[in-house]
Chain A
Amino acid sequence: MTASPSTDLTTLGLSEARDELRKKSFSSVEITKAFLANMEAARSLNAYVVETPDKALRMAAMSDEKLSRGEGGPLEGLPLGIKDLFATDGVRTTACSKILGDFTPNYESTVSSQLWRDGAVMLGKLNCDEFAMGSSNETSAFGPVVNPWMPPNWTAERAKAAAAGTDKGGLLVPGGSSGGSAAAVAANLCLAATATDTGGSIRQPAAFTGTVGIKPTYGRCSRWGVVAFASSLDQAGPITKTVRDAAIFLKSMAGHDPKDTTSVDLPVPDFEAAVGRSIKGRRIGIPREYRVDGMSPEIETLWQRGIAMLKEAGAEIVDISLPHTKYALPAYYIVAPAEASSNLARYDGVRYGLRVPGRDVIEQYEMTRAAGFGKEVQRRIMIGTYVLSAGYYDAYYVRAQRIRTLIKQDFELAYADGIDAILTPATPTAAFGIGEKSAADPIEMYLNDIFTVTVNMAGLPGVVVPAGLDDRGLPLGLQLIGRPFDEETLFSVAQVIEDGSGHFRASRWW
């Protein structure tokens, strides 16, 4: 696409905006202003929890100076949104929890610092589930985010009226935990956004909003300065409009960081070069265990369509078995809460954030944590505390970690057989309504992550690409799972799906 004077700059993808900025078709200040105007007009979606217009315009002006001299980094002048889980120097960072109060870090997360190093412009902080614990963005202390995709058969007036309320009832969730990131990208409130994924928090929201989301291999991106949920599962990654955009963005986010001991000291490939590469002769595995009860028939159709596209592009389709798949979700609900209970022990009202006074220091801890943590976070901390407590540690935690080994081995066997990537559905259904599942039992919500959680358990890379609409007109995605540190193959294969499926954009009603 070439930007003419009439082009709405906010509809461009990251790669298009990058190319046009370099050609000086418009300035970074111009596109930044366009996004700031969109953000103001879209406040009812509740995607941003902090807007940083002054900072954005300052950064954009500096970028324009560099661009005018023919200089600038790979993301020079490109306006981005940052999930509120990333510490941003001088900008409130709360993981969307009351317990962090008005916490304002005086340091920058490694991932976001690399974006600024490469010239990107920060628009603000994006809403998410509290401490990234949720699959619908409904656990945020700042309230739910609205999916820019309107509920089927609604009128714009009805949606506008519902969005004006605080409970946003009846509108659709954007998924979670990176719901603000996904909604902001889908609604043209930023070119692309950072996100994090512990059990599916990049990929499920991408599927629910018709955007692209990649969780890279564990260790690819530094976790330093990212609010911790479950340290052995957490990874940062981008949510973008296209596969190419994701490749460009991930290159800037990734890289070794001595401040994170689990960050891997490997060169970061030129991911963009992999976009458009032929997949002829690549072997794509189709795992039979991903055909689950309660999966909508449209998901099966979508999956078959994806298979046909890859076959058409010359890939070899191979039926495979990942026998321990069904145990990934229950094992996750031991490992993740256990690590969370340990990580979240630091929120005690002593050094930062909320403090509720008590008679003694123990009561102060208990009152602070009861008032500061939301219900879902409290529940997970308590489960984690229980499975790590004396007498239960072996029965729960150690058993779950053994099962994790088996889940990882399933993938290793498939890859040893010459499989290059695995194609699966992204979610069992399309986006559901705000308030529809949160009142129900927690397991029902957890089942959203059934196809994505195995990837975190095994530390593998996974990408979700929009692949179609359901019969009600809502976006659906397909997931590709790769070999460790082979995100390049994922980008090549994902581009084939994108080429075959086209793009899916929500129309503006807000």
Chain B
Amino acid sequence: MSVDQATVRRIARLARIAVDDAAVPHLQGEINAILGFVEQLNEVDVSGVPPMTSVTPMRMKKRADIVNDGGDAARILANAPAREDDFFVVPKVVE
């Protein structure tokens, strides 16, 4: 499988990465090289093989469903690029 330039632009959009038109052909070449490399996986018969979903066979532990943290806005906001009181500031999302 290989991707065309429209697909490269669509992937960039999905990944939320701004890509210059000039960079598209180069990126297309690199992505296609990687897709070409992984093509060999199609040689393998995987029928009946379950996908690996857990590296170590163990039950996922769950913590108690209680509040165990919070009330610490100052620490949460300590690295914010823009803030106002106890809020992160972003451009207007809803008109």
Contact = CB atoms under 8 A, between A and B. Distances in A.
Interface string A324-348: 1011001101100000010001001
A195 to B, nearest CB: 19
Interface in A83-107: 101, 103-104, 106
A351 B12 contact: no
Interface stretch (A58-66, A129-137, A358-366, A469-477): A358-366
A406 B46 contact: yes
A403 interface: yes
Contact of A327 (B34, B40, B62): B40
Interface in B34-82: 34-35, 37-42, 44, 46, 49-53, 55-56, 58, 60-63, 75-76, 78-82
A277 to B, nearest CB: 25
Contacts of B78: 104, 106
B50 A405 contact: yes
B14 interface: yes
B38 A104 contact: no
A379 interface: yes
Contacts of A360: 91-93
A223 B12 CA distance: 29
Given A352-B80, A364-B90, A218 B55 contact: yes
Given A379-B27, A382-B12, A401-B51, A373 B46 contact: no
Contacts of A408: 52
Contacts of B39: 330
Contacts of B12: 382
Interface residues of B, number: 51
Contacts of A366: 13, 16-18
Interface string A434-471: 00000001110010000000000001000000000000
B15 interface: yes
A262 B91 CA distance: 37
A258 interface: yes
Contact of B18 (A327, A369, A402, A442): A369
A365 B12 CA distance: 12
B56 A365 contact: no
Contacts of A403: 41, 44, 46, 49
A219 interface: yes
A365 B38 CA distance: 30
A362 B3 CA distance: 24
Contact of A459 (B15, B44, B55, B79): B55
Contacts of A101: 81
A326 B40 CA distance: 9
Contact of A404 (B15, B33, B52, B79): B52
A398 interface: yes
Contacts of B80: 351-352
A352 B91 contact: no
A310 to B, nearest CB: 28
B26 to A, nearest CB: 10
A268 interface: no
Nearest to A345: B16
A354 interface: yes
A217 B52 CA distance: 16
B33 to A, nearest CB: 5
Contacts of A401: 51-53
A455 to B, nearest CB: 11
A396 B31 CA distance: 14
Contacts of A459: 55-56
Interface in A218-248: 218-219, 232
Contacts of B19: 370
Nearest to B13: A366
Interface in A401-447: 401-406, 408, 441-443, 446
A330 B37 contact: yes
A444 to B, nearest CB: 10
Interface in A8-56: none
Nearest to A459: B55
Contacts of A348: 16
Contacts of B81: 101, 349-350, 352-355
A386 B12 CA distance: 9
Given A358-B91, A364-B91, A396-B38, A232 B55 contact: yes
A377 B79 CA distance: 22
A354 B82 CA distance: 11
B34 A443 contact: yes
A399 interface: yes
A406 B51 CA distance: 9
23 contacts: A217-B56, A218-B55, A261-B61, A262-B55, A265-B61, A327-B40, A327-B41, A333-B38, A350-B88, A352-B80, A360-B92, A361-B92, A364-B90, A369-B17, A370-B17, A379-B34, A381-B15, A382-B11, A386-B3, A399-B42, A402-B52, A408-B52, A459-B56
Given A261-B62, A327-B41, A357-B91, 17 more contacts: A232-B55, A258-B61, A262-B55, A326-B40, A350-B90, A360-B93, A361-B90, A366-B13, A379-B27, A389-B14, A399-B41, A401-B51, A402-B52, A404-B52, A442-B30, A443-B33, A446-B37
